[in-house]
Structure 1
């Protein structure tokens, strides 16, 4: 379980990114975080794995106070939390399989890190992860020969190989075409349901969020202005989340129509 208690985040330049955040997210939930650009969506999910430190309040993941972790504790903690970025973060000049095997590097002894050698068990787990996202046949293909959607699935497989409890996704379909976006979102939904992995996704496409997520968290100016079931999101609620910025709301909805 993830729990935010009166969490605030203020950047060194004085910008208040999060204010008075109180949330509980249970294991196995699929949560979409929506809102205007700059509302604090990315900051919210990046606090969960300590990519950003909170300024005030408390943040717990399974009763662990995230702010208290130091050094190796943070690295161990992050093993349980997968992170998917819009930019994929892959090494494009090497094979798909090698990119997935990278997830095992933190656990390997120094000699394996230096030689780049992995165990048979690690290779098996990497291939299983590729199979789960439907690209096992691309295992020995160089990443730079793949489409954007295939690359995002490699990133997802790399995350699955580390056997996480939670997957954080920061705009995972922002740079993908509509057909590929649907395939990637289907992967997230299937993984969430079959493996009971919590998915917390920052997403710009409103209708995609409503279609795939069980729960919507609406952020406006760093504060939660809506938290509830996707089915209960009305036009009035969307107007409140988007703070009367009709143009950005229309753009998000239009992009969504293109992606569903």
Structure 2
């Protein structure tokens, strides 16, 4: 499904964000990418859907070389790859349903794009996606009336409505409290198992990554330093991935979670 072969990513001449990345991810896997801030986690994730271009090596998705795609090819790739952001990226002054329907716009004929009229089939698919993440009852509620966790579930529904093969999630629970984070992660796990959608998640919460992901990829200064099953991750491995700073990072996140309750 996804294969990195000696991939490199540079920003300008001096910043080497990724180096010698060799990685294969099969359909249906739940993969968590962990490491310090600035280690290259988000860069690796965003190379998959061409939000960032690699500067060396080969990146394949379904045996198609991503770097060679242009125009329609890139758009077609992105239709197969859903993206979930920490900031939700929703239109807050309109309804939940309309936010999910947005996922169909790229495939609509021009007259539907102009009029904003969606077919019955599109509406059924959107409502089904909302049901799959447990917020069907919020379909006609304005997004700005929802909690942060509910908004993230709207973003997830919008993504699965486009029927992707892959979901990329960039810190999807970073701004959520622990209870809400569990609800959102349960949704990701359910979608991964029930729909066989590959989930590749960049995440700071190590304990959450170990609980939900099948596979852990540890990145340190742009290199993969661990790739294995979540059950095989030891304190020594985490210490190496985080360069001895894991306890410090965990304390920082605990403080942020306390603030989420205020």
Q: TM above 0.5, one fold?
A: yes
Report what 2:183 is aligned to.
183
- Matches for 1:6-155 after TM superposition, within 5 Å: 6-12=6-12, 14-155=14-155
| Structure 1: tracts of 5 or more residues without a match | none
Residue 256 of structure 1, CA deviation: 11
Q: Distance in 1 between matches of 2:115 and 2:199?
A: 34
Q: What's the TM-score once normalised by structure 1's chain length?
A: 0.96
Q: After the TM superposition, which parts of structure 1 deviate over 2 Å for at least 4 consecutive aligned residues?
A: 244-259
Query: Is the Cα contact below 8 Å between 1:206 and 1:253 reproduced in 2?
Result: no
What is the Cα deviation at residue 243 of structure 1? 1.3
State the superposition RMSD in angstroms.
1.7
Q: Specify whether residues 15 and 122 from structure 1 end up closer, same or farther in structure 2 by C-alpha distance, changes over 3 A only.
A: same
- 1:12 offset after TM fit, Å? 2.1
Deviations 1:81-136 (A, max 9, x none): 00000000000000000000000000001111111111110010000000000000
Distance 1:208-1:134 versus aligned 2 partners, 3 A rule: same
Alignment of 1:157-168 (within 5 A): 157-168=157-168
How many residues are treated as equivalent by the alignment?
259
SS in 2 for 1:217: strand
Mapped partners of 2:246, 2:206: distance in 1: 13
Change (3 A) 1:25 1:243: same
Point out where structure 2 has 5 or more consecutive residues left out of the alignment: none
CA distance in 1, matches of 2:97, 2:214: 32
Q: Which residue of 2 aligns with 1:243?
A: 243
8 Å CA contact 1:242–1:248 kept in 2: the answer is no
Distance in 2 separating the partners of 1:138 and 1:39: 38
TM-score (norm 2): 0.95
